[in-house]
């Protein structure tokens, strides 16, 4: 039994949700659902797609140092360009596709996403 407990606690054996292959090791879908409910956001497939896109971007850049907000914006705009780019993303996440999306995706938003003068800008 103790052997199985060690296996469960070992991060190498943690099993990710197959729908979110690039999710942080400690992330679970239920946490995102809880955050969304607290923020009054309904999660549909489009919102989950943005969560996956954020998790994938962070996963690809995890060894590159701090996340560059401009690069992240460009990557999201490119991925969702056919549906309206940034305007579409703000429709999905009114609290900011990067700021609110990062909370749902279980990743740390770049510090530039909030401005004291303008509130959430990303």
User: Any idea where the domains of the chain sit in the sequence?
Assistant: 2-120
Residue 119: strand pairing partners:
115
pTM: 0.82
pLDDT digits (tens, 9 = 90+) for 61-99: 998 888 999 999 999 999 999 999 999 999 999 999 999
The DSSP code for 14 is P
Contacts 24+ apart (CB under 8 A), 86-94: 89/50, 92/46, 92/47, 92/50, 93/41, 93/47, 93/50, 94/41
**In a 3-state reduction of DSSP, which class is residue 120?**
strand
Nearest alpha carbon to residue 71 among 116, 20, 19, 122: 122
């Amino acid at each position: 039994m103790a052997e199985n407990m060690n296996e469960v606690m070992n991060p190498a054996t943690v099993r990710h949700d197959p729908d979110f292959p690039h999710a942080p090791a400690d992330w679970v879908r239920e946490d995102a659902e809880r955050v969304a409910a607290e923020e009054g956001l309904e999660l549909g497939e489009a919102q989950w797609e943005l969560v996956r896109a954020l998790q994938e971007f962070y996963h690809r850049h995890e060894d590159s140092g701090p996340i560059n907000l401009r690069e992240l914006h460009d990557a999201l705009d490119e991925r969702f360009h056919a549906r309206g780019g940034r305007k579409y993303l703000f429709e999905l996440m009114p609290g900011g596709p990067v700021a609110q999306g990062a909370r749902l995706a279980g990743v740390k938003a770049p510090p530039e996403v909030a401005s004291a003068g303008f509130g959430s800008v990303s």
